[in-house]
Amino acid sequence: MSSVQSFKGLRRNISLAIGVAAAALFAASAASADSSNLTAANALTEMSPGWNLGNTLEAIGAGTQPFSVSQETAWGNPAATQALMTRVKAAGFKSIRIPVSWKQYADSSDTINAAWMTRVKEVVDYARAADLYVMINVHWDGGWLQPTFANEALADARLTKFWTQIGTTFKDYDDHLLFAGTNEVMVTGDYSTPKAEYCQVQHGFNQTFVDAVRATGVKNTTRWLVIQGFNTNIDHTLLCNSTLPTDTATGRLMMEVHYYDPYNFTLNTGGKIWQWGSIATSPANTETWANEAYTDAQFQKMKVNFVDKGVPVILGEYAASLRTEYDATGIYRNYWNKYITGSAFQHGMVPVYWDNGYLDNHQSGLFNRGAATEGFPATIDGIVDAAK
């Protein structure tokens, strides 16, 4: 281990000790903490980099719904803990995105089980106790948010009901808590350019979300709300979401997109594409598109159309899977993750890494969640250092 690595490890251990003490002091007053004064001008530096508690609170359980107990371990990850949140903060992350499933805990009238709401609140409080900004959403949730005219009325009614309950629960929390209305809304299986119908309905979901949250009052009247672009695809966002929802609060909406390009490198772990970018040495194992220049150009679109107009942008998910059968030390994975983080940050976007919780090959986990330790310190350092 180099002296630099030793210093970083010592720094993190000191930060962790301080964080544990701070968490204990914070636990009793999470909901009443002073406002963060989060603004469009400082959101980038206040929240970057971010980290996803993926495949946990949004995990869908097996069995008869609605559930009255947490299904967060259904996909193989351990339950979220204070120790994990404190470790994430000590590693250098400033914000956490917590994907959440709600429908599997709701009755036929869409009333969310009280025990589940309490558990979500507990996990949010863990993150706040670690001094992290927090984003919670209505995630995939079984796929009921289909953006079609046929499904619109049912989905809008449920979205209103859910966000009214969520908003009421968290109405006293300050600006460290952000709400994100939906996740990757699209017609299931249709990755083509969205029809006008799909754009209209998805835009309507965003409006429904904003209206429902604002109506719950107190600090929700001005809370930062995160609006998603269509399927979080950058080009589809420009097509469908150039106009933001109307809002009773001025300048309190953010836009969210995701980035997994090129797919054959980041997610297609059964393929032979395992190198990326200018450091690649084998054309046969390198995708022919979505290199550094393409990435910069895509992120520039978000900068020009949103950031430069005073609308902060969240890059809510991005990650490259581990490919140890080809790249034992993760050189290309680390390079992609660091480059995407740095380019996003330089283009004014808050980068929020997708950690799915698993440290095995073909996965994107960074932390050993059960032990609350770093699984890939070099990858973590690359991400944290790039967001400066």
Q: Which amino acid is at 105?
A: Y
DSSP 166-217: HHHHTTT--TTEEEE--SS---TT--SSPPHHHHHHHHHHHHHHHHHHHHT-
Among 331, 346, 354, CA closest to 387: 346
Residue with tokens 């009755």: 107
- The sign of the dihedral angle between the CA atoms of 213, 217, 221, 223 is negative
Residue 78 structure tokens: 């351990």
Q: What is the 3-state secondary structure (H, E, C) of 284-325?
A: HHECCCCCHHHHHHHHHHHHHHCHHHCCCEEEEEECCCCCCC
| Structure tokens belonging to residue 117 | 């709401």
Is residue 255 within 8 Å of 237, Cβ to Cβ? yes
Q: Tokens 């594409």 correspond to what residue?
A: 273
**Residue 191 burial (CB count, 10 A):** 10
Tell me the C-alpha distance between 377 and 106, whole Å: 39
Cα–Cα distance measured from residue 27 to residue 128, given in angstroms and rounded to the nearest whole number: 8
Closest C-alpha to 315, from 337, 299, 296:
299
Q: Is 128 left (phi over 0), alpha (psi -120 to 50) or beta?
A: alpha
Q: Is the CB of residue 313 less than 8 Å from the CB of residue 301?
A: no
Amino acid 66 reads P
List the catalytic residues.
Answer: 184, 317
Residue 375, CA distances (Å) to 225, 357, 360, 367 in order: 32, 10, 10, 5
